[in-house]
Amino acid sequence: MAEKILVVEDEPALLETIAYNLTRQGYQVETAADGQKALQAARTHHPDLIVLDIMLPLLDGFEVCRILRQEMNVTILMLTARDDEIDRVIGLEMGADDYITKPFSMREFLARVKAHLRRVRLIRQEIDQDSGMIKEIFTYDNLTLDLTRREVLLNNKPLALKPKEFDLLLFLTRHRGQVLSRTLVLERVWGWEFSGGSRTVDVHVRWLREKIELDPANPKRIITVRGAGYRFEG
């Protein structure tokens, strides 16, 4: 099935050019020309990737990004008119995955889109051969989470994770790209009744890194955000 891309851009000519080129590459393309339509379209079509302009009528791209990050796991590629450091910083804080500065070459743009879709295969739903049930699978490069079996595979080999390690990894992956505070992680993964402190989160992150990172001392998947918490990169 074709991957779905939502293009949000208020300049009609640019919107048309991007949509045309993505369609030609075989993607299923939806479009929106303002921030509110972007939210509606994302909620209706559940795209795999969103190309999101920053300066938009009604709601700007930062706001759209911030709202969508709380609702869904989607790759967001932002378009910025200026090569402005502030835009980049704000956008990353809002959870954007990447930036491209206008004007850009269509070839570079398409390469970037392709790379993102390859890097993160979002939730794939498949029919499990044994049970006949729909199974939910997240794949990030060589790391696979099978929610039905509560199994994690690294290079197709099962990893032995403790139940809380699995829950933590699932929570992180479901909020990929977002900075998650230790308090939030404790509340969502361990629950309100848990009396341990935020050290618990750090310890479990350390254990997870030892299992899923190539170099646990130099993590690329679970990133520490100083003074803020953790962020899952993919």
Of residues 65 and 172, the one with the C-beta less far from Ca ion: 65
Q: Name the minimum Å distance from CB 24 to Ca ion.
A: 23
- 1 is written with which tokens? 């099935």
Query: What b/e string do you get for 149-179 counting C-beta neighbours within 10 Å, with b at 16 or more?
Result: eeebbeeeeebebeebbbbbbbebbbbbbbb
* Distance (Å, whole) CA 38 – CA 17: 18
Q: State which residue, 53 or 165, has the beta carbon closest to Ca ion.
A: 53
Bond preceding residue 103 cis, omega within 30 of 0: yes
Comparing every residue's Cβ against Ca ion, the nearest one is 55
Nearer to Ca ion, 10 or 151 (CB): 10
Residue closer to Ca ion (CB basis): 1 or 13? 13
Binding site residues, Ca ion, CB under 5 A:
10, 53, 55
Output 76 or 180, the one with its CB closest to Ca ion.
Answer: 76
As a whole number of angstroms, the distance between CA 203 and CA 197 comes to 11
Give the C-alpha separation, 7 to 181, whole Å.
31
Tokens of 16: 């048309």
Provide the token pair at 21: 């080129």
Q: In angstroms, what is the minimal distance from the CB of 112 to Ca ion? A: 18
* Least distance CB 57 / Ca ion (angstroms): 8
| Cβ neighbourhood burial of 13 (10 Å; 0-12, 13-18, 19+) | exposed
Shortest Å, Cβ 5 to Ca ion = 18
Residue 53 Cβ, how far from Ca ion at the closest point, in Å? 4
